[in-house]
Amino acid sequence: MLRSMTGYLCLLGSTRNLLKNNHGQRHILSFISWQEEQGRKALDYFKIRYGINASHLITDDQIYNGTDVPLGNYTFSTTSPYQEESPYRLIIESKENKAKYYKNPPEIGEIVYAIEIHNELNEGGTFNKTLFPGDFLAYGEYLIKTPKRCSMDGLTVIHFVTDPVKVHGGSGTLTHPEYGKGSLQVSFVTNDDGLTDVANVLRFPANQNLTTATPTEQNML
């Protein structure tokens, strides 16, 4: 079970229901098409970055329905994990010398297209390093569910990719149409009560020490 400290959150079914309630069936179909398209982009990214070529083995229905697809050394899945103890929330937002602390922190969702590694693997790609059991590769979106202008700059969707995420956390690259390229840090701390605190820090512009995507890959983001 997870509980969050700061940063982002998570959802998929809730997103679908939200769109249906507010905008009708036409937008549900649009969302399904968008999710399948993003899943294909994720698989293309995994092929270039890690040399993992699995797109022809995965159907659109598996992408949309979040079906785990075991493929020997790894498993592909579309996921939107929900923190049972408490959802992710946007705690603080800063820009230059200004900061905004949310008294009622807005929830944030995410859709993640992921590959979990089961056995040591090196398929090449631009990463061209060995992946180890337990490594988690992610491509997805932060979805900030806020009232109008709740965020200082109207953030709605932030795209991310990660380098292999380990048991303690990891880093990645962000993109936003106004903010440009950014960097991501995520950490996991398991407490004595069995719950795991999750903290995410999103930076724009990117912390150059944490930017993981190559120029070729960044063109895909």
Asked, for residue 127, whether it belongs to a domain, the answer is yes
158 pLDDT higher than 90: no
> What is the span of the domain harbouring residue 133?
2-213
* Contacts with 92 (C-beta within 8 Å, 6 or more apart), sequence order: 6, 99, 100, 101, 102
Across the chain, mean pLDDT equals 74
* Contacts with 80 (C-beta within 8 Å, 6 or more apart), sequence order: 10, 11, 12, 13, 14, 15, 66, 109, 110, 111, 112
Asked, for residue 219, whether it belongs to a domain, the answer is no
Q: Can you point out the beta strands (E) in the chain?
A: 2-6, 69-70, 74-79, 92-95, 98-101, 108-117, 136-144, 157-162, 169-176, 180-190, 196-203
- Burial annotation 40-78 (CB, 10 A radius, 16+ → b, else e): ebbbebbebbbbbeebeebeeebbbebeebeeeebebbb
Asked, for residue 221, whether it belongs to a domain, the answer is no
Provide the pLDDT for residue 123.
92
User: 25 versus 174: which is more confidently predicted?
Assistant: 174
Asked, for residue 103, whether it belongs to a domain, the answer is yes
Structure tokens at 128: 């061209």
User: 92 versus 21: which is more confidently predicted?
Assistant: 92
Alpha helix stretches (DSSP H) within the chain: 13-23, 25-50, 60-65, 215-218
pTM, 2 dp: 0.73
Q: How many domains are there within the chain?
A: 1
Q: Which of 39-48, 193-202, 206-215 has the highest average model confidence (pLDDT)?
A: 39-48
211 pLDDT higher than 50: no
Asked, for residue 218, whether it belongs to a domain, the answer is no
Residue 176 binned pLDDT confidence (cut-offs 50, 70, 90): confident
User: 119 versus 18: which is more confidently predicted?
Assistant: 119
Provide the pLDDT for residue 115.
96
44 pLDDT higher than 50: yes
% of the chain with per-residue pLDDT over 90:
34
Asked, for residue 16, whether it belongs to a domain, the answer is yes
